[in-house]
Structure 1
């Protein structure tokens, strides 16, 4: 009897590469502060760091670092407006992450269907 081959070895690598591309997005969104920044930017359009820190106890320096992580993941980008730097949400990368989650959900559905079929036999 041959040992079971992992799903990655059976050709799921192409699906895995999509998940791998989304990993930085999920890592960036895994932080509560960054998730809040995304929520604010989604609701408020392009905002400056001063606007993003107003009414919070988080420093501008901390927000700048969090925005850079989000920018590295492709979730936000900055716009120069005179001497000011505004930050804006970039929905394209989040859509990619959603598609990755859809892929995972489909895999779970398939696995549960196989399990149900096996149990009913």
Structure 2
């Protein structure tokens, strides 16, 4: 049998587990998808796109994805503060894989028995 993950993703201590947790969390996916649509977004615009996310959770998710090198935060030195978020090249590459997955999920969500 061919090894799909020669460096391992199944061992408990694999660093990929941390990134997987950050990227595949509900809010992580939605933030990455919102930012994949093109233009940089302000914090309030990201929050509007990811309906239902709390301020605390959005701030934490953006901070985590930025520390992972997937999202960049750009603050303009103006009053009031103007902060925009956008995907890094690594974030854009990742979003290129997430978009088809979410399209499949959205297309099949009605088939899931939620009872």
TM range (shorter): 0.5 to 0.7
RMSD: 3.2
1:82-93 maps to which residues of 2 (within 5 A)? 82=78, 83-92=81-90
Instruction: Structure 1 unaligned segments of length 5 or more: list them.
Output: 1-6, 8-14, 99-121
- Corresponding residue number in structure 1 for 2:47: 53
- SS of corresponding position for 1:78: strand
Higher radius of gyration, 1 or 2: 1
The alignment covers a number of residue pairs equal to: 85
- SS of corresponding position for 2:86: strand
Instruction: Structure 2 unaligned segments of length 5 or more: list them.
Output: 9-13, 97-115
Counterpart contact for 2:65–2:71, Cα < 8 Å = yes
The structure 1 segments of at least 4 consecutive aligned residues displaced by more than 6 Å after TM superposition are none
- SS of corresponding position for 2:53: coil
Counterpart contact for 1:71–1:77, Cα < 8 Å = yes
Q: TM-score, normalised by structure 2?
A: 0.57
Structure (1 or 2) with the greater helix fraction: 1
Q: TM-score, normalised by structure 1?
A: 0.55
1:68 aligns with 2:69: no
1:1-121 maps to which residues of 2 (within 5 A)? 16=7, 22-54=16-48, 56-81=51-76, 82=78, 83-92=81-90, 95=93
